[in-house]
Chains A and B, each alone.
Chain A
């Protein structure tokens, strides 16, 4: 017997994803449908008698009008015209028992597509607790479809559904009494009629939700709570991650040393030590931040608070043409653009999501801090301006602000040009508050981590190994006057780039340091150390580097270098993540292109202006 192919479909807040998690447990994977940003979740369910069921969790949608990619992909799969996905044998349409009037309309619309349907009347327990009573047999009769009740968060609560799916594909009947008038209004009317018949008591508003919202959406308390929570989250990503990140770095450094002590000094040792181990370390070092940020985001999402956060931020974000949901990904990008870009998945609209991903690298991430700190310590005098503010602090603030202002401008320009489209409605249901299920949060956390390691991680690793090779080969000649890196491929590329960078006031030392600096921004600091042949550990290099640079670089060069780092996407991990999340090399190239373009332009302007002012 071939495995039954089942697709789960339902409106947002029907509890569909929760149901999917309970049905498949850890036997699931997340990918993208080819060529689009729509997330594909699929998994395997084995019934008690051992039948295998292939499950696909289709995106949460209200209808199948092809207005969004989600709707289009869902319709294509259900009707069997999708180029790569197989048509399912059976649809499980998940409806929330607390909101059947709205969700039944989708069931009626699905009937017109002809596939066998089973209706899962979900969160039946919660509805009963709120005083909503539904005549299940009558509902089944009115719809002409089998109806099973489910409690998505419990294994026992999905038993009726798994039993129903324990048969051969031919055992399911196609729907009968297909609606003839398929306009939204007609379907709505029919859904309303059925609701009136089967819903024996209407129940009240969810009491706890009402109480919590009176605080969470209070005009004064609401934003206050939101900002306190953000502050806490931001602190956590910044400071809690520091310890684990040090451990990851320390572990890989120690591993490298063990290899160094046990292998003879040749290219192979160097490859294992500086290429492979350092490369894997550079991937894993992002994990603490990703895990912490996503723990917060997944809990906020599962509890229902995320929709409230979007409500609070919507007015501000609307000013740059974005949705309230873009706020948290952008804020996260101040710690690191990688979890920030990954967090844009909560933005439903494709164009808004792309715009948010594109501007995320402009937020000043923590990897820029070593570069900023070095340059400011070396070139900005520790004096006060206007009698109160430290000049170094003012420069720091200006660098942050420049990133934010640029992001606002880029977003506004993008929304008027390449991501232009009809304004998206904010229209969104605020779900009832729920206690998140630890198991589901961990499950989804693991999927984000796995997705990062698999897709972004492999690209980062290859790039790290490639950069290792570039900076090492060919070897320097004996008694060479310059540092070894000068003679390597990276050195050759840097020296060639020197002519390109000359208008920015960059010398050949900077140009060379920027090549390994592509791996990550902070690498530029140690690369400068290498170019200027400094010895010692990271901190010692940074300290002596400040002294060396003071005498080696004119001030305009230093300022242009700072300006360069506000924009330049000197981070392969960000580009790799953007590639994975946009599912497009085109958008990735656009991101790299516009950021390098801006970096060059602004650094040029800074260099020319500063030179003129100092003359």
Chain B
């Protein structure tokens, strides 16, 4: 089963394995989402860890990539495919 960054709980460590922006309902929004995710520093092969979740519905989330922390909405995180780090 494919897992997405939005499925992870606080403390879960994974590796980014790809992007699937077709999962985002708003097509106009999805069009350049992958580009924006890449620009801010999400990239295949990088380790991610969920650090924090918002107080309403666990949204947005804050994740660690490399030495930086990035905040994003769950809807955006749903487009990032991850693999569990063994």
A residues with a Cβ closer than 8 A to B are 62-63, 65, 67, 98-99, 101-102, 105, 130, 132, 184-185, 188, 192, 202-206, 209, 213, 217-220, 222-223, 307, 310-312, 314-316, 318, 422-423, 425-430
Residue contacts A-B, CB under 8 angstroms, 9 given: A184-B39, A206-B67, A222-B55, A311-B62, A422-B26, A422-B28, A427-B37, A428-B72, A429-B40
Beyond A425-B73, A427-B73, list 15 extra A-B contacts (CB 8 Å). A62-B40, A102-B41, A102-B68, A184-B38, A205-B69, A217-B62, A311-B60, A314-B59, A315-B54, A422-B29, A425-B29, A426-B73, A427-B36, A429-B70, A430-B69
- Chain B residues 20-50 with CB under 8 Å of chain A are 26, 28-29, 31-33, 35-41, 43
Q: Within the complex, which residue of A213, A220, A310 is in contact with B51, where a contact is CB–CB below 8 Å?
A: A213
Closest 9 CB pairs of A and B: A217-B52, A62-B39, A102-B41, A422-B28, A430-B69, A423-B29, A315-B56, A219-B55, A426-B73
What CA separation (Å) do A314 and B53 show in the bound complex? Answer: 12
Name the residue of chain A whose CB is nearest to the CB of B57: A315
A213 nearest CB across to chain B (Å): 7
For chain B, the count of residues having a C-beta within 8 Å of the partner chain is 34
Chain B interface, DSSP helix/strand/loop, else mixed: mixed
Q: Contact at A427–B70, with CB atoms within 8 Å?
A: yes
Closest to B77 in A: A427
**Could you tell me the distance in whole angstroms from the C-beta of B14 to the nearest C-beta in chain A?**
16
CB distance from B6 to the nearest CB of A (A): 13
Return chain B residues, CB-CB under 8 Å to A62: 36, 39-40
CB-based contact A314/B39 at 8 Å = no
- In the bound assembly, the distance between CA atoms of A102 and B70 in angstroms comes to 12
Instruction: Report the separation of the CA atoms of residues A220 and B52 in the bound assembly, to the nearest whole angstrom.
Output: 12
CB-CB under 8 A from B38, the residues of chain A are 184-185, 188
Q: Which residue on B lies nearest to A217, using beta carbons?
A: B52
Q: Which residues on the B side are within 8 Å of A422 (C-beta)? A: 26, 28-29, 31
* Complex contacts, B64 vs chain A, CB 8 Å: 205
Chain B residues whose C-beta falls within 8 Å of the C-beta of A423 in the assembled complex: 26, 28-29
Chain B residues lying within 8 Å of A219, measured Cβ to Cβ, are 53-55
**Chain A residues closer than 8 Å to B70, beta-carbon distance:** 427-430
Name the B residues within 8 Å of A204 (CB-CB): 67
Chain A residue at minimum C-beta to C-beta distance from B31: A422
CA distance A217 to B39 in the complex (A): 24
Chain A residues contacting B28 (CB-CB under 8 Å) are 422-423
Cβ contacts under 8 Å, A65 to chain B: 32, 35
Contact check, B67 vs A132: say whether CB atoms are below 8 A apart.
yes
Closest to A96 in B: B68
B8 close to chain A: CB less than 8 A: no
| A-contacting residues, B57-82, CB 8 Å | 57, 59-60, 62, 64, 66-73, 76
- Cα separation A333 to B67 with both chains bound (whole Å): 37
Residues of A within 8 A of B39 (CB): 62-63, 102, 105, 184
The residue of chain B having its C-beta at the shortest distance from the C-beta of A426 within the complex is B73
By CB atoms of chain A within 10 A, which of B26, B33, B53, B55 has the most?
B55
Chain B residues contacting A222 (CB-CB under 8 Å) are: 52, 55
Complex Cα distance A202/B56, Å? 34
What's the nearest-Cβ distance from chain B to residue A390, in Å? 33
Which of B36, B43, B53, B57 is A425 in contact with, Cβ under 8 Å?
B36
Q: How far is the CB of A303 from chain B (nearest CB, A)?
A: 15
CB distance B62 to A202 under 8 Å? Answer: no
Which B residues touch A203, using CB under 8 A?
A: 67
Query: Quick check: A192 and B33 within 8 Å, CB to CB?
Result: no
Would A101 and B71 count as touching, CB distance under 8 A? no
**B55 contacts A312, C-beta separation under 8 Å:** yes
Closest-CB distance, A19 to chain B (whole angstroms): 19
Contact partners of A202 in chain B: CB under 8 A:
66-67
A315 and B60 within 8 A (CB)? yes
Cβ–Cβ contact A318 & B62, under 8 A: no
Least CB distance, A127 to chain B, in whole angstroms: 9
Q: Which residues of B contact A223 (CB under 8 A)?
A: 55
Q: How far is the CA of A67 from the CA of B26 in the complex (A)?
A: 17
Residue pair B40, A102 in contact (C-beta under 8 Å): yes
Complex-state Cα separation, A203 to B38, whole angstroms: 22
Closest to B27 in A: A422
CB of A226 to closest CB in B, whole Å? 10
Residues of B within 8 A of A188 (CB): 38, 43
Given A203-B67, A316-B56, A430-B62, the answer on whether A425 and B72 have CB atoms closer than 8 Å is yes
Cβ–Cβ contact B60 & A184, under 8 A:
no
Partner of A98, one of B40, B62, B68: B68
Please, how many angstroms separate the alpha-carbon atoms of A426 and B38 in the complex?
A: 14
- Smallest CB separation, B85 vs chain A (Å): 16
Q: Are B37 and A205 in contact (CB under 8 A)?
A: no
Which of A204, A205, A222, A316 has the most chain B CB atoms inside 10 A of its CB?
Answer: A205
| Known contacts A213-B51, A213-B62: A98-B67 contact under CB 8 Å | yes
Shortest Cβ gap from A321 to chain B (Å): 12
Decide if A430 touches B53 in the complex (CB within 8 Å).
Answer: no
Contact between B59 and A315, CB atoms less than 8 A apart:
yes
Question: Does B54 lie within 8 Å of A314, measured CB to CB?
Answer: yes
Asked if A427 and B71 make an inter-chain contact with CB atoms under 8 angstroms apart, the answer reads: yes
B76 touches A220 (CB 8 A): no
Assuming the contacts A63-B39, A422-B29, asked whether A314 and B60 have C-beta atoms less than 8 A apart, the reply is yes
- Nearest chain B residue, comparing its CB with the CB of A427: B72
Which of chain B's residues have a CB closer than 8 A to the CB of A218? 52
Q: Are B71 and A205 in contact (CB under 8 A)?
A: no
- Closest Cβ neighbor of A102 among chain B residues: B41
Are B69 and A427 in touch, CB under 8 angstroms? no
Closest chain-B Cβ to A294's Cβ sits at a distance in Å of 24
Contacts of A67 in B (CB 8 A): 32
Residue of B nearest to A106 (CB): B39
Instruction: Give every chain A residue within 8 A of B37 (Cβ-Cβ).
Output: 427
Complex CA gap A579/B64 in Å reads: 41
Which A residues lie within 8 Å of B31 (CB)?
A: 422
Tell me the smallest distance from the CB of A356 to a CB of chain B, in Å. Answer: 19
Residues of A within 8 A of B54 (CB): 219, 311-312, 314-315
Q: Which residue of B lies closest to A192 (CB)?
A: B43
Q: Pick the contact of A314 from B29, B41, B73 — CB < 8 Å?
A: B73
Which residues in B have their C-beta under 8 angstroms from that of A132? 67
Which residue of chain B has the shortest Cβ distance to A220 in the bound complex? B55
CA–CA, A99 and B37, complex, Å: 15
Q: Which of B51, B60, B67 makes the CB contact (< 8 A) with A130?
A: B67
